[in-house]
Amino acid sequence: MIKRFLYSQKVAPYVFVLPFILIFLIFWVYPLGSSLSMSFQKVTLGQDAQWVGFDNYTKLMGDKTFFKAVANSAIYMVLTLVILIPFPMLFAVLINSKLMWAREFFKSSFFFPALTSVVVAGTIFRLMFGEMEGSMINSILGLFGIEPMKFLKGQVTGYIALVALATWRWTGVNMLYFLSGLKNIPDDYYEAASIDGASRFQKFTKITMPLLKPTSIYVLTISIYAGLAMFIESMMLWNGNNSPKNIGLTIVGYLYRQGIEKNNLGYAAAVGIVLLAITMIINLTQLAFSGMFKKED
**Contacts to other proteins by CB under 8 A:** 24, 28, 31-32, 35, 44-47, 59, 62-65, 119, 130-132, 150, 153, 221-222, 225, 228-229, 231-232, 235, 240-246, 252, 255-257, 260-263, 272, 275-276, 279-280, 283-284, 287, 292-293, 295-296
CA–CA distance, 133 with 116 (Å, rounded to integer): 27
Give 70 or 182: the residue with its C-beta nearer to other proteins.
70
CB of 172 to other proteins, least distance (A): 19
The number of residues making up the chain comes to: 297
Give 5 or 51: the residue with its C-beta nearer to other proteins.
51
User: Residue 257's Cα: distance from chain center in Å?
Assistant: 20
Give 75 or 282: the residue with its C-beta nearer to other proteins.
282
Which ranges in the chain belong to alpha helices (H)?
Answer: 2-7, 12-23, 30-38, 55-61, 64-84, 86-96, 103-115, 118-128, 136-143, 155-183, 187-195, 200-203, 209-211, 213-228, 232-237, 251-256, 265-289
Is 279 strand, coil or helix? helix
CA–CA distance, 69 with 251 (Å, rounded to integer): 5
Which residues contact residue 78 at a Cβ distance below 8 angstroms, ignoring those fewer than 6 apart? 227
Give 95 or 161: the residue with its C-beta nearer to other proteins.
161
CB of 275 to other proteins, least distance (A): 7
Give 32 or 94: the residue with its C-beta nearer to other proteins.
32
CA–CA distance, 64 with 246 (Å, rounded to integer): 11
Give 131 or 204: the residue with its C-beta nearer to other proteins.
131
CA–CA distance, 69 with 143 (Å, rounded to integer): 36
Give 209 or 292: the residue with its C-beta nearer to other proteins.
292
CB of 13 to other proteins, least distance (A): 13
Structural contact between residues 255 and 272, judged by C-beta atoms closer than 8 angstroms: yes
CB of 164 to other proteins, least distance (A): 19
User: Residue 285's Cα: distance from chain center in Å?
Assistant: 17
CB of 79 to other proteins, least distance (A): 19
CB of 153 to other proteins, least distance (A): 6
CA–CA distance, 89 with 101 (Å, rounded to integer): 18
CB of 48 to other proteins, least distance (A): 10
